[in-house]
Structure 1
Amino acid sequence: MTTINWNEVLDSISENAEEPEVEDRFVKRLLNALGFTSDEWVQQFKTGKGPADFAARKNHDDDKFSVAKINPDLIIEVKGRVSGNAIINLAEGTPAYKKAKEQITGYLLAPKCQTSQWGMLTNSTDIQLFRKHGKIVLPATDCMRITKDNIIEIITRLKNLLKNPPKALTICIYNDKGGVGKTTTTINLAAILRLQQKKVLVVDFDPQQGDLTDSLGLQEGKVKLSDCLVDQALNVKETLQAFNLKNKAGQLVKMFDVIPSDSGLSKFMRYEYEAQIEKGSARLRDLLDIFVPKYDYILIDAPTNWTFFSKSCVIASDVILMPTEHNNFSSLKNAAKVIKVFLPEVKKLRQDGGPIALPIFFNRYKATEASIKRANAEIKAILTVKKGDTYPLDPNLLPYYWPKSTKTVIDTTIFTVPEYEVVSSAAFSRKPAVFQNKKAAEDYLKLARKYFLYE
């Protein structure tokens, strides 16, 4: 691979470069720097949802991607620095960025990109890498401004990520309101993912109740998560406990692994103990990082209220799944607080674009026409930014409440998980409802497919 003089490359791109110039002078060289040879990428790849500017995949023996043009690993959407007389600003949050992000997400989820793990946006001024896990497309980096001083560092970072893709998707089940079924959701989502042959780890990081640990009939072990927070010599793998069930032959079969809550966690509710944790609320993420290559999903049951514990859970996660209840208006309102206040705080701390929030869903759902009408009225009030505007609903919140809505059509459909007696009483049997009830299994499978799994 030839050495690229990036100072010359960046100098060669005009300030008003349009898309073809960026492609020829920057992206083709970038692909080379990332380790792709000329027969490992193509332009105008047909995704099934429109043509992507570039697609790339390493060759396998005689299977040359430039010839086969199937199963790409990386999709790249390219923009010019300008379009006509308009400057294209791809900085995160700008209209151009939001539109380009929608494009790359659409391509990654398109029929001919099922194997794609990575998506990239760039106009040679800004660049961002995205990762796909199932139906989730999330940032793998922040949106980075390219300069002569950092271009080598950026390329090295991108190359390392492409070579070492994380396996697990880490999901924090959280709402800043209690009583919405976070623990029930965590347990049954873990169970249904296990039935889909996924390898799952569940983390109970509730310092007071530990309901998840109790409802699975587990006890704290000799090595505790609370000790691992402060003692770096301990092996966090030794906190793992298997949740087992007997099969028809009476043999114990492991369903999924659990890091249980323990009695030592509660002391970290006091600041003098919390202050002893190196890296503070980022410590949990470091501890769980060792499990990312070993599992398909890591589910974290987070406690209510924005404390060290819930903040730790969110920092450790790729995505936030927020159960709400249609008749619990505080749960609807507090979801907006998570999206508008807590997540930006964590994103600023992490500096890697994550985590992201998923649309809310109604949990333990027993609806009447009147109760749904009241819930939608409450949601409309949450979304309304200025009465009387032609489009008064907050576009930054709308996708998280009414994700099927557009600027022209308001669709108030919200995904729901019904309530069954077996779900609420499953804790008494120490067995997830998904393993006991066919209808419960069907509904939690719908939840998993709605947010995470391809059907």
Structure 2
Amino acid sequence: MQNTSQIDWDIILDNIPPNANEATVSSKFIPSLFQGLGFGGGDECPQFNTGRGADCVDFAARRHKPGESSFLFSKTNPYLLVEVKGRATNAGARINLSCGTPAYRDTQAQIIRYLLAPNCVTAQWGIITNSTHIQLFRRHGKIVIPATANLLIKKENIHGIISHIKQLIDKPPRSLSICIYNNKGGVGKTTTVINLAAILRKEGKRVLVVDFDSQADSSQSLNVSSGEVTLSECLIDTKLDIRKAVVSFSVTDRNGKTAHLFDVIPCDNGMDRFINSEFHASIQRGIKRLRDLLNIFTYSYDYILIDCPTQWLFFSQSGVYASDVVLIPSKHNGLTSLHNAVRVIRDFIPEIQKERRDGGPVALPIFFNGERITEHSRRIAEEEIDKIVSQNDQLLPYFRPKATKGNKSTFIFHLPAYASVANAAFVNLPAVFVHKTVAEHYLGLAKEYFL
């Protein structure tokens, strides 16, 4: 089988007309794309039925082992989906697939919908391309995130692009990194981190909690202390092994038996110094450093949860930079938290995306955290959200996640408040382990977004 280094991409790109329609791109570019990614004969299937109505993705693929039926024959358990667009429509109108364009947003929505469709539950990767642009997406549970930036294809970079995509799909990461953040205090960020970690553990997932808040609320709530090395030391000294900063959060039952629940990288006293911007110069790569440190855990955990403070400074910028997705708790009876969520989605996350240049992180729809929702408070919140989305329709997916052209749903996931959640912190135990109702609601949160 040929690899990407043996493909003459110069000739292939020269043979694709500037006004090539979808059929031309599919015939002149896609076969070489699959070949460069290491797929052989019979590994690809055109017009694969996703199982969601009449939806068909342009191509699906899965490598088959010797003795196995080819994917083209079996048409089961796809691994990679590819949605193709033309450089132009059949009528000759140019299709601009660069970021932010209507064509890009529509195609991105397509590949996400296909990856989450019933016949594609085994698919971990999706590609959108028109042979001028190309982008890879990764699926993790119910989440689909960019795995690369939306890249402009040129003769001088096509080898590197295809090689990088191949490396990713050949060794998919295990973890999803989640930063729980809102630029507003009192929305229950730490409580969400701890109980989400616990419920994911109850669902059989391996979880790492990173307390990247100098106030150390997560560490104190779990009553965990620093490991062999500290997080603050690892931020400064690149020779230290961050794995030695990991400690176990365990509980002991009535019979004296200890059970490991999840792992934690605690906050330590040395983190206080980084509140002062004068100390940031001692951290190589600044806000990128935390992501660098956590990369080693990519294949060790199913979920990495990052707790960080409210103010948009070093700690929170680092937490968002290190994440794949940002989960945004808000309050239905605190309109300020809604507008702060807007700032996170509209300003802060794009700021980090511009810095990272790989399409991440991605904002998830907001959820209401705590407080009983009365009909009056619900109406006020809905009116405020209507104002928000009317001023910027690109915020609709984050504040009206289930709304469609034919369905004006105002649904926002709500996590009710319970005194037992706050009280559990005093006994250093996540509430989901001792209160059935709390566990049910946090399981609902996990299923709404992740499982």
| TM-superposed deviation, 1:378 | 1.9
C-alpha distance in structure 2 between counterparts of 1:425 and 1:371, whole Å: 26
1:432-447 aligned within 5 A: 432-447=430-445
1:116 to 120, 123, 129: 123
Taking only aligned residues, the RMSD between alpha carbons, in angstroms, comes to 1.1
| TM-superposed deviation, 1:248 | 5.6
C-alpha distance in structure 2 between counterparts of 1:248 and 1:338, whole Å: 44
Match of 1:128 in 2: 135
2:195 to 180, 183, 188: 188
Match of 1:58 in 2: 63
1:407-446 aligned within 5 A: 407=405, 409-446=407-444
Match of 2:295 in 1: 289
Match of 1:160 in 2: 167
C-alpha distance in structure 1 between counterparts of 2:41 and 2:58, whole Å: 15
Specify the SS of the correspondent of 2:429: coil
2:331 to 321, 325, 329: 325
C-alpha distance in structure 2 between counterparts of 1:409 and 1:287, whole Å: 43
Q: Tell which deviates more after alignment, 55-64 or 429-438.
A: 55-64
Which amino acid in the other structure matches residue 338 of structure 1? Answer: V
Percent of counterpart pairs with the same letter? 52
Match of 1:101 in 2: 108
Q: How many residues align?
A: 444
Specify the SS of the correspondent of 2:239: coil
C-alpha distance in structure 2 between counterparts of 1:203 and 1:34, whole Å: 35
C-alpha distance in structure 2 between counterparts of 1:196 and 1:416, whole Å: 21
Matched, 1:35 2:38: yes
Cα offsets for 1:322-373 (capped at 9, x unmatched): 0001111111100000111111110111010000000000001311111111
Which amino acid in the other structure matches residue 155 of structure 1? Answer: I
| TM-superposed deviation, 1:61 | 3.0
| TM-superposed deviation, 1:250 | 2.5
Cα offsets for 1:59-85 (capped at 9, x unmatched): 023222121111011000001111123
C-alpha distance in structure 2 between counterparts of 1:442 and 1:410, whole Å: 27
C-alpha distance in structure 1 between counterparts of 2:116 and 2:277, whole Å: 44
Match of 1:391 in 2: none
Q: Tell which deviates more after alignment, 433-442 or 51-60.
A: 51-60
Which amino acid in the other structure matches residue 379 of structure 1? Answer: I
Contact in 2 for aligned 1:365/1:416 (Cα 8 Å): no
Specify the SS of the correspondent of 2:394: coil
C-alpha distance in structure 2 between counterparts of 1:131 and 1:219, whole Å: 35
Match of 2:376 in 1: 370
Matched, 1:45 2:45: no
**Structure 2 segments unaligned to the other structure (5+ residues):** none
1:189-338 aligned within 5 A: 189-207=196-214, 209-247=215-253, 249-338=255-344
| TM-superposed deviation, 1:40 | 1.0
C-alpha distance in structure 1 between counterparts of 2:449 and 2:172, whole Å: 21
C-alpha distance in structure 2 between counterparts of 1:44 and 1:147, whole Å: 27
C-alpha distance in structure 2 between counterparts of 1:395 and 1:115, whole Å: 33
Q: Tell which deviates more after alignment, 284-293 or 43-52.
A: 43-52
| TM-superposed deviation, 1:408 | 5.3
State the TM-score, normalized to the length of structure 2: 0.97
Contact in 2 for aligned 1:48/1:111 (Cα 8 Å): yes
